[in-house]
């Protein structure tokens, strides 16, 4: 028996990644559009977990038919920038300009001092339950955009010599921050609900 989860996101790339990771494991991922939910929760939290909680709870409260909701918040944290852009990763620059702005801001940062990590928090909400799961992917910021896959900051985030945008979806999901958080979510669901 498959389990339905509503993913509280309007980001088609995040929805695709969640489906790639969770659907082979027996979960059907329902989009907000498919559920008839048309809100855009305000991400006013100062942590990834808090922003994911806001999204999950807001969307859960909008549902006509109750089903579990998952939401994520994620971002890039760069050591040389004091952890920025962090929770402001999506608002750091307009879509399509983020990588260029980051590379410009880091143009004088030498190799060996470009450490960064992606962090993801996933929150699961059901009737009386609110649980959070986090994942992290360590790497560094490259000196140019490379690769055609992925999205967001993937073309400048280097792990083991390649950017995330140079990896296949399977390779990226196996090491990604979202993949790590999803793995913890799946373990929780299997233990709690026997799915």
Q: Is 73 marked active-site?
A: yes
Choosing from 42, 46, 64, 73, the catalytic residue is 73
HEC assignment per residue over the chain = CCEEEEECCCCHHHHHHHHHHHHHHCEEEEEHHHHCCCCCCCCCCCCHHHHHHHHHHHHHHHCCCCCCEEEEEEEEEEHHHCCCEHHHHHHCCCCCCHHHHHHHHCCCCCCCCCEEEEEEEEEEEECCEEEEEEEEEEEEECCCCCCCCCCCCHHHEEECCEEHHHCCHHHHHHHCHHHHHHHHHHHHHHHHHCC
* Catalytic sites, residue numbers: 73
């Amino acid at each position: 028996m498959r389990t339905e989860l509503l993913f509280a996101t309007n980001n088609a790339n995040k929805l695709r990644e969640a489906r790639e990771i969770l659907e082979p494991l027996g979960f059907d991922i329902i989009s907000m559009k498919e559920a008839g939910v048309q809100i855009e929760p305000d991400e006013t939290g100062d942590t990834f977990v808090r922003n994911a909680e806001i999204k999950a709870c807001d969307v859960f409260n909008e549902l006509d038919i109750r089903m579990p909701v998952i939401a994520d918040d994620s971002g890039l944290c760069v050591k040389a920038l004091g952890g920025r852009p962090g929770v402001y990763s999506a608002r750091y620059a307009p879509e399509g300009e983020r990588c260029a702005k980051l590379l410009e801001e880091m143009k004088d940062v030498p190799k060996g001092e470009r450490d960064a990590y992606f962090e993801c928090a996933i929150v699961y909400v059901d009737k009386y339950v609110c649980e959070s799961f986090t994942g992290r992917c360590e790497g560094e910021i490259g000196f140019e955009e490379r690769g055609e896959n992925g999205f967001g900051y993937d073309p400048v985030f280097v792990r083991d010599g390649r950017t995330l945008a140079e990896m296949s979806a399977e390779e990226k999901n196996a090491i990604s921050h979202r993949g790590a958080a999803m793995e913890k979510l799946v373990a929780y669901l299997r233990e709690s609900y026997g799915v």
